[in-house]
Amino acid sequence: MADVKNFGLKGISNDVQLGKGGGRFKWSSANDRYEFTGSDGSTLKAIRAANVDVQGSLLSDDITSSSVTVNGNAVITGDLTVNGSTTTVSSTNTTIADSLLELATGTTGSPSNDVGIVIERGDSDNVFIGWDESADKVIVGTGSFTGSSSGALTFTAADFQAAGITATTLALSGGLSGVTTINASGAITGGSLTDGTATLSSGALSGATDVTASGTVQFGSLSDGSITITAFVDEDNMASNSATLVPTQQSVKAYVDSQLTASDLDFQGDSGGALSIDLDSEVLDIAGGTGISTAGADNTLTVTLDDTAVSAGMYGSATQIPQLTVDAQGRITAASNVAISTSWTLTGDSGSQVVAGGDTVDIAGGTNITTAVTATDTATINLDTTLSGMVAGTFSGALQGGSLTDGTATLSSGALTGATNVTASGTVSFGTLTDSGESIAVTKFVDESDGIGNNDNDTTIPTSAAVKDYVDNNSGDGQLLRASFTANSSDSTFNIGTVPNVSGRTYYASRVILDVTTLVAGGSVDGMLIKDNAGSGNTLAAATTNDVAVGTYVIDLPYASTLTKNAAIQVQFVQSDGSTAATPTGGVVVASVEYKYV
C-alpha cells in the first residue's frame, strides 16, 4: 500500500471505499453532507478523532468525547446524560420546558443529603431552598455552602415573604410580621399571640376589650376588677350565701318567690299580746269597739265614730245655756237648752245673798286677799305677796314663787324636779320630753299630714294615724285585691280594689279570680270584663260567654301590662257583644285580683 499524504479523486463516483470491504466516505447530495458509512454505503458509522472542529452544524445520534466545546447552538433531539460530578451552566437565563424537575435522581435507601436549590450571592451568604433531612421539613435558610456541598448543610433560617401560606400546622420560632389575615382550621401555637391590643400568652388573654363567642365559654373565674366569680350555681335556697357564686335566673326567682310566700304581718294591740297574720292565707279584721264602726271598700278601711241621739246644731244663747250628757267614752249622748235665771244667789264660805238683775256685786278682799276692778267687766282677785296666818293652802289658779316645793318635788324657774308622778286632766304642752333610761329627747308629735317619712329621727313620736298611713303606703302590701258584689238592678260595674301607690314600685297583675256563687242574670248580661285604671285602662280579662254562671273562673296573666297606681280595678258587666254595658238584677260575685310588684 502506498503512503500518500495528499491525493485527489476526479471523474469517479461520489464515494470512495477505503480498503477492501472497508468503510466508505461519500458525499450525499440529497442530505447536503459527507457521510461515513459501512461497506453497504448506507449504515452510518462512528468517527474517532483526537479533536473534531465543526464550523457549521454537527448532527450525531451519539457523541463520545472527553470534552465537547460548542461555540454555537447545540440541539440535542435525544437524551443528554451527564455522568460527571459537576455540571456547570453559565448563561444569562435558563429556561426549562419540563413540568417536573427531579433532584437527587437515583437515591436509594435512607437519604442523608439535604436536597434543594442553592443561590449564589457573592460575598454574602448563599441561600438554600430545599429539604432538610435532619429536620425532616422544607427549609429556607442562608449559609456558606455552595452547589458543590453535600451531606447535611449548616444554615440559618431566612426571612420568608409570601402573599399567602396554606398549611395544616404552622409553627413559628420567631416573629410573624406584615400578615393581615391568618385562616387556620387547626391550632396556632406561639410564645404569645397579639393583635396589638389583646395578647394571648401562657394560656392567659390580657388587654382584650371585648370577648364574643357563639359557643360555650368556660372559665376558672370571672372578675370585674373587685369581685371575682368562681362559678354559676343552681341553688334555689341560696344556702351557700357566697360572694363568689352567681345563681341562675331560675334560682333567683325560686328564692324570691319562697321568701314572699313566707311573709306575714306582726301586730299587737293594747291587750291580747303579740299576733301575726299570714299574708297568703289570712285576713286581718280591724273590728270597731264601743262607739266605733269600721268598714272596708275600694281598698280603703274607714274607722267611723258612731252617731248618738244628739241632733247636730248649736246649743246655748244669751238667755239659755246648753245642758250636755257625756258617756264613759267621752261622747255627748244628750244635749238641751236651759233658760238663764234673771236673778242669782251669791254665796260665800258663810251666808248668801240673792242678786237681782241690775244689782252691783261688790267682791271684797279677805285675809291676805286684795281685789281690784281696773278694766271693763273685770275684777282681779290678788293673793297678797306676803301671806300671813296660813297653815294650809288650796289653789285653783296659778301659784307663783321663787320656788315651790312639797318636800319632794320642787318647781323653780319653770322646771319641775324630783316629781314622782305627773297627772293632768288637761293638755300638757312641752318643749321636750325625755326618759332618763334612753336619754331620748322628744321634741314633738308627728301627725298624718306631717308624715313619718319626713321625720326619720329619734326625737319625734308619730300619732296612730301617722303610723297607719306610713304602714299602708310603705310596708309590704298583701298583693291581693278582693271585693264582693250583689246585683242591685242599678249598677253595671263594681270595683275590686285600688292598686297601691308606693313610690318606687311597679305593679303587675298575675291572676284574676271570679267566684260566681249565685247566677248573675237580668239586664241582658252575658259576661264580665275586668279592666284597670277605674275601667279606662288595660283589659286584664276579656268577657267570656256564660262566665256569669255559677262557678269559679281563674285567669292567669303573664305580667305583660303594668297596673295604674292609686286607681281601681273594675269589673264591668257586658252584653253578648262584649262591650255594651249590662245592669244585672240578680246574682253574687266575689272578685279577686292577685298582683306582684318590682
- Rounded to whole angstroms, the Cα distance separating 271 from 520 reads 44
Supply the pLDDT for residue 515: 94
Between 17 and 436, residue with greater pLDDT: 436
What phi and psi values does residue 507 have, to the nearest 5 degrees?
A: -105, 140
Supply the pLDDT for residue 13: 56
Nearest to 200 by CA among 210, 190, 185, 186: 190
Between 25 and 571, residue with greater pLDDT: 571
* Residue 86 grid cell: 459537576
pLDDT band per the 50, 70, 90 thresholds, residue 10: very low
Q: What does pLDDT average to over the chain?
A: 81
Pairing mode of beta strands 369-375, 378-383: antiparallel
Does residue 127 carry a pLDDT above 80?
Answer: yes
- Rounded to whole angstroms, the Cα distance separating 476 from 486 reads 30
Q: SS3 for 547-569, per residue?
A: CCCCEEEEEECCCCCECCCCCEE
Supply the pLDDT for residue 162: 81
Does residue 273 carry a pLDDT above 70?
Answer: yes
What phi and psi values does residue 511 have, to the nearest 5 degrees?
A: -160, 145
Q: Domains of the chain (ranges plus CATH)?
A: 1-70 (no CATH), 115-159 (no CATH), 236-278 (no CATH), 435-473 (no CATH), 477-597 (2.60.120)
Between 281 and 156, residue with greater pLDDT: 156
Mean pLDDT value across residues 408-425: 80
Mean pLDDT value across residues 35-40: 77
Q: SS3 for 134-168, per residue?
A: CCCEEEEEEECCCCCCCCCCCCEECCCCCCCCCCC
Supply the pLDDT for residue 15: 60
Give per-residue pLDDT as tens, 54-92.
776 677 766 776 677 777 777 777 777 777 667 777 777
Supply the pLDDT for residue 237: 87
Supply the pLDDT for residue 566: 94
Does residue 316 carry a pLDDT above 60?
Answer: yes
Give per-residue pLDDT as tens, 192-232.
777 778 888 877 788 788 888 888 888 788 888 899 998 98
Nearest to 562 by CA among 501, 508, 503: 508
Does residue 21 carry a pLDDT above 80?
Answer: no
- What percent of the chain clears pLDDT 90, i.e. is strictly above it? 19
Q: 162-166, 178-182, 353-357 — which is least confidently predicted?
A: 178-182
* Residue 362 grid cell: 261688790
Supply the pLDDT for residue 568: 95
- Rounded to whole angstroms, the Cα distance separating 138 from 411 reads 114
pTM: 0.30
Give per-residue pLDDT as tens, 274-314.
888 877 677 888 887 787 889 888 889 898 888 877 888 88
Q: Which residue has the cell 329621727?
A: 457
Q: What is the DSSP letter of 206?
A: E
Separation in Å, CA 529 to CA 3, 161, 533: 146, 78, 13
CB atoms within 10 A of CB 360: 5
